[in-house]
């Protein structure tokens, strides 16, 4: 069975740069080439002209063969590849070793990346810089090995946010909102001027809207929950979890949205 390395997208560049640095010490006969599974969202389809993609090639000389898979089919395709070894790529994005992947890793279907620290110098440096050694250590399975590359952040990270029509603010002479109450008043004005419109919309579904707005109320629930329980939230002042799903913060949030 072909072994596969599970890795998160944010660290692809880091790994490639690490490979490049290692390869620079040796005479390279031909550019390093490897295949990657990529989960494609139809609202923002993959393009090989993206800056991240072109910079990987430019900076490292590595050739990446992207296999673009519709997001709805991604889990099934990954599971099939890992279980059968058929058409398994060298790298799989957006995966960890929870659930089924843990058993597959322990049975040899996935490479233990922790055995090759010399290939991930940038990752190693960021772990040390951010003080995440203990957190990364917890990702190891019962054999004492880690099989995937987690995303690393030194501060809470939000990968999206609300986008507001600046042209409409100017058109209706509205101030830039600084609070959610301000935003509510702006959206009401948008609706008043265009009764058939939807002033607040979301492309990727309500979960993304919740992820971008819940933290302002001090809660994070469902798939956005920090604890993985879908019900608990983290209190940053008290440094402990609380029952966010039945909290006053959540009631206030639901009332607003």
**Per-residue pLDDT at 3 exceeds 50:** no
Q: Given a cut of 80, is residue 38 above it in pLDDT?
A: yes
Ramachandran quadrant class, 222 (left: phi over 0; alpha: psi -120 to 50; beta: rest): left
Cα-to-chain-centroid distance, residue 191: 33
Q: In what order do the strands lie in the sheet with 33-40?
A: 63-70, 33-40, 91-92, 5-7, 148-149
250 contact partners, CB below 8 Å, separation of at least 6: 217, 219, 221, 233, 244
pLDDT of residue 17: 36
Model pLDDT for residues 81-131, shown as the tens digit of each residue:
999 988 899 999 988 888 889 999 999 999 999 999 999 999 999 999 999
- Cβ-contact 150, 136 below 8 angstroms: yes
Taking the C-alpha atoms of residue 1 and residue 82, their distance in angstroms, rounded to an integer, is 8
What is the pLDDT at residue 21? 39
Structure token pair of residue 69? 């898979």
Mean pLDDT of the chain: 84
Token pair of 160 as six digits: 């999206």
Answer yes or no: is pLDDT of 23 > 50: no
223 with 207: CB under 8 angstroms? yes
Percent of the chain with pLDDT strictly greater than 70: 86
Report the alpha-carbon distance of residue 181 to residue 179 in Å, rounded: 5
Question: Residue 146 in contact with residue 136, Cβ under 8 Å?
Answer: yes
pLDDT at 155 over 70: yes
Tens-digit pLDDT profile for residues 55-84: 988 888 888 999 999 999 999 999 999 999
1/86 Cα distance (integer angstroms)? 8
Look at the pTM and tell me if it is higher than 0.75.
no
What integer pLDDT is reported at residue 7 of this predicted model? 44
Q: What is the pLDDT of residue 162?
A: 85
Is the pLDDT assigned to residue 6 strictly greater than 60? no
Most confident by average pLDDT, 42-46, 169-173, 203-207: 169-173
Q: With a cut of 70, say whether residue 19 has pLDDT above it.
A: no
* Residue 49 predicted with pLDDT over 90: yes
Classify domain 5-149 at the CATH topology level.
D-Maltodextrin-Binding Protein; domain 2 (3.40.190)
Residue ranges per structural domain of the chain: 5-149, 166-256
pLDDT at 153: 84
pLDDT at 56: 86
- Confidence band, pLDDT 50/70/90 cuts, at residue 231: confident
Q: Where are the alpha helices (DSSP H) in 24-175?
A: 51-60, 74-84, 100-106, 121-130, 133-137, 166-171
Task: Name beta bridge partners: 149.
Answer: 7
Cα four-point dihedral sign 40, 45, 46, 52 = negative
Question: Under a CB-based contact definition with an 8 Å cutoff, are residues 150 and 96 in contact?
Answer: yes
Query: Quick one: pLDDT band at residue 226, thresholds 50, 70, 90?
Result: low
């Amino acid at each position: 069975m072909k072994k596969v390395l599970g890795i998160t997208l944010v660290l692809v560049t880091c790994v490639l740069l690490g490979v490049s640095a290692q390869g620079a010490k040796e005479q390279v006969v031909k550019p390093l080439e490897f295949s990657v599974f990529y989960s494609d969202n139809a609202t923002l389809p993959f393009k090989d002209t993206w800056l991240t993609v072109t910079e990987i090639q430019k900076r490292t000389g590595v050739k990446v063969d992207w296999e673009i898979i519709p997001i709805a089919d991604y889990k099934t395709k990954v599971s099939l590849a890992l279980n059968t070894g058929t058409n398994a790529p060298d790298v799989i994005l957006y995966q960890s070793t929870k659930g089924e992947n843990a058993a597959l890793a322990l049975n040899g279907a996935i490479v233990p990346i922790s055995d090759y620290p010399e290939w991930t110098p940038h990752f190693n440096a960021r772990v040390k810089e951010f003080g995440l050694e203990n957190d990364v250590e917890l990702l190891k399975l019962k054999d004492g090995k880690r099989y995937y590359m987690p995303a690393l952040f030194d501060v809470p990270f939000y990968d999206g946010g609300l986008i507001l029509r600046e042209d409409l603010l100017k058109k209706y002479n509205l101030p830039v909102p600084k609070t959610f109450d301000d935003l509510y008043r702006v959206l009401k004005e948008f609706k008043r001027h265009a009764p058939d419109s939807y002033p607040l919309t979301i492309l990727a579904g309500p979960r993304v809207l919740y992820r971008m707005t819940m933290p302002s109320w001090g809660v994070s629930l469902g798939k956005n929950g920090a604890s993985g329980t879908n019900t608990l939230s983290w209190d940053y002042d008290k440094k402990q979890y609380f029952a966010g799903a039945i909290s006053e913060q959540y009631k206030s949030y639901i009332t607003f949205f």
